[in-house]
Chain A
Amino acid sequence: MKILTGNDLASGDVVWWTGSEWSRHVDDAVDAGDHAEAILAAEEAARRVNASYAISATRDGASVRPAHIKERIRALGPTVRLDLTLKPADPAAGNWVI
């Protein structure tokens, strides 16, 4: 599927399109399909997102897995500082990006 990502303009947080807004959690991402370009244009123009683009991903039950390792690291946080990621309590969180 095609999911949308970008950064929050003011905070810089990595965000994912949920269908109605932008979430910090990749599992909230939805398949934007053919509407990707239109959504990105509208959201950028309204400054609800910055530097946004579409990427490939697969859905795995409740979770969403970006196709490329770079985007998975983006979704999680730095694998060498798990305490600074979105899953600080999970010591195996880094394995998910590989």
Chain B
Amino acid sequence: MYKYDNYDQAMVDARVAEFRDQTARRMAGDLTEDQFKPLRLKNGLYLQLHAYMLRVAVPYGTLSGAQMRMLGRIADKYDRGYGHFTTRQNIQYNWIKLAEAPDILADLATVEMHAIQTSGNCIRNISSDHYAGATADELVDPRPYAELLRQWSSFHPEFDYLPRKFKIAVIASETDRAAMKLHDIGIRIVMNESGELGAAFYVGGGMGRTPMIAPLVRGFVPLDQLIHYSEACLRVYNRYGRRDNKYKARIKILVHELGLAEYTRQVEEEFAHMSALGLEPPTAELARIAEMFADPPFEAGLADEVDRSDPDFAVWLDQNTHPHKQPCYAIATISLKPLGGIPGDASAEQIALMADLAEQYSFDECRVTHAQNIVLPHIRKADLYAVWQALDAAGLATANLDLVSDIIACPGLDYCSLANARSIPVAQKIAQRFSDLGRQRELGELKLKISGCINACGHHHAGHIGVLGVDRKGTENYQLLLGGSEGADTSLGKITGPGFDEDGIVDAIEKVTDVYLARRDTGERFLDTYRRIGVEPFKEAIYG
């Protein structure tokens, strides 16, 4: 994975010093809250429902053991002993003191971490495929390109006050594991007929109030023009994105209002101008970065068989591991969705264990997924049992990857001042209703996503089953959506009808799964059956 050189370290250190100064000036009254707010947001510091919340960046979801260990230490030293992994592969701490925030950033800087641009109207954390570098189905590892763009976007002087936030995802496989088309810019590394690698740019996706799937703006940008093209896309947005209405300020609205043809024309014009300016880093720079993402020293001559005699281990093996491109290795997912737990939360002790396991068993690397789980990307099959035993002892071995209890849930009204309803208790009740693992496996792949408000941080539009919490005259109410998908076959869920209270939504979801079981053809996932039979049978079952 990427390692800082002295330049990178100096930049992060400079940012810490800048924020320390800004915080001191705020506390002394030299900055008003209105002046300070954008500055602290660009260092990931929100003022949330109960306290300041700090969102630490995990660039393209990749962490070393030492970095994961530091995240656990921060939970203990500065927070209340736990952290929350998010749907953008970051981590959040809910009980931060402003007075200590600069020290936290200083601690993070010692392990090449930061909270740079994880909030605010700027380019945010660049996300990627959590199986990158480990899966056979990718063209190349997408993360060197994500790293190139991360550096380009950090402290970019022209794009520090955009109309609104800007989220970029980079993938390199046809299987989209990063919800790429639901980003402001989604990039897929592709190969043309001549065998050259390039980048397909999708611009104008997003969820929130007006979900949109990003259209393809250009099918092939040469890799030595990535920066020029990105600058062009951003400059058009900075100049023409709406600034009169916060709810219409994302690039998806601009692309929609201009139309794809006109937006593309403006980008291509700006791109032609930018290309002449020579803004790209030397090609040697991309090569330098890519070298750091070379394969780890996989061993040969290992055992490919796994002893399945422990039945609980066998269930986890089947559900939570994914084939690795290297023989005799596997990709393992650590579920942060235990029954009765809070989706995406991990205690400081659990974080420390995951750090140890990454170091000991996964070439010192782990990943955060946008589904709020953790991946150990490179485990010898021979070690899977030992890893599972360690996870099981720590409550981290729930075998529910992509099953109905592997719920994506935003923090909701329990934590978030933007929320209209709580999401975590609903997630817990759903998981409880389906607590029997055999029943979950019978249902198969069923991606359920819950957002506590229209901002859609829980990605409810992209859930096979989605739940949206709303405020109905001061009472929490929940709308049900069906048929969303975040993969390459991206689709947006449809609302079924009137909403439900907390118990009602759990009942409705159970009825929906009953319809699926009754109507499915062999081999059909829930999503497939829904797409085949449509929403009516489900509506009938729910509303009678």
Residue B424 CB within 8 A of the other chain: yes
Chain A neighbourhood of B428, CB < 8 A: 80
Which residues in window 78-126 of B have CB below 8 A to A?
80, 94-99
B414 touches A51 (CB 8 A): no
- Roughly how many angstroms separate A74 CA and B406 CA in the complex, as a whole number? 28
Q: Which of A25-58 contact B (CB under 8 A)?
A: 44, 47, 50-51
| A10 contacts B50, C-beta separation under 8 Å | no
Identity of the chain B residue whose Cβ is nearest the Cβ of A84 in the assembled complex: B80
How many positions in chain B have a CB within 8 Å of any CB in the partner chain?
29
Nearest Cβ in chain A — how far from B440, in angstroms? 22
B157 at interface by CB-CB < 8 Å: no
Contact B342 A10 (CB under 8 A): no
A21 to chain B, nearest CB (A): 19
Inter-chain contact B33/A50, CB cutoff 8 Å: yes
Contact in complex: A51, B425 (CB < 8 Å): no
Q: A73: CB under 8 A from chain B? A: yes
Is residue B415 contacting chain A, with contact meaning CB distance below 8 A?
yes
Given contacts A50-B33, A70-B413, A79-B425, contact A12 B474 (CB under 8 A): no
On whether the beta carbons of A78 and B414 are closer than 8 Å, the reply is yes
A12 touches B414 (CB 8 A): no
A7-B97 Cα distance, complex, nearest whole Å = 11
Please determine whether A69 and B476 come into contact, CB atoms closer than 8 angstroms: yes
Contact between B50 and A80 (Cβ–Cβ < 8 Å)?
Answer: no
CB-CB under 8 A for A10 and B97, given A47-B29, A73-B413 = yes
The answer to whether B47 touches A12, judged by C-beta atoms less than 8 angstroms apart, is yes
Secondary structure type dominating chain B contacts: mixed
User: Within the complex, which residue of A9, A12, A67 is in contact with B96, where a contact is CB–CB below 8 Å?
Assistant: A12
Secondary structure of the A side of the interface? loop
In the assembled complex, the CB of B209 is this many whole angstroms from the nearest CB of chain A, namely 19
Smallest beta-carbon distance B347→chain A, Å: 11
- B49 CB-CB contact with A under 8 Å: yes
CB distance from A34 to the nearest CB of B (A): 24
- Closest A residue to B32 by CB, please name it: A44
Query: Are A80 and B425 touching (Cβ within 8 A)?
Result: yes
**B434 beta carbon closer than 8 Å to chain A:** no
How far does the alpha carbon of A84 sit from the alpha carbon of B428 in the complex, in Å? 18
B98 to chain A, nearest CB (A): 6
Provide the B5-16 mask, 1 if CB < 8 A to any CB of A, else 0: 000000000000
A79 touches B474 (CB 8 A): no
Smallest distance from the beta carbon of A37 to chain B beta carbons, Å?
16
Chain B residues with Cβ below 8 Å from A20 are: none
A10 and B98 contact, CB distance less than 8 A: yes
B403-436: CB near A (< 8 Å → 1, else 0) gives 0000000000111010100101100100000000
Q: Is B437 among interface residues, defined by CB-CB distance under 8 A?
A: no
Most A CB within 10 A of own CB, among B50, B94, B95, B98: B50
Structural contact, B47 and A7, CB atoms closer than 8 A? yes
Task: Give bound CA distance, A9 to B27, whole Å.
Answer: 7
Chain A residues with CB under 8 Å of chain B are 7, 9-14, 44, 47, 50-51, 67-70, 73-74, 77-81, 84
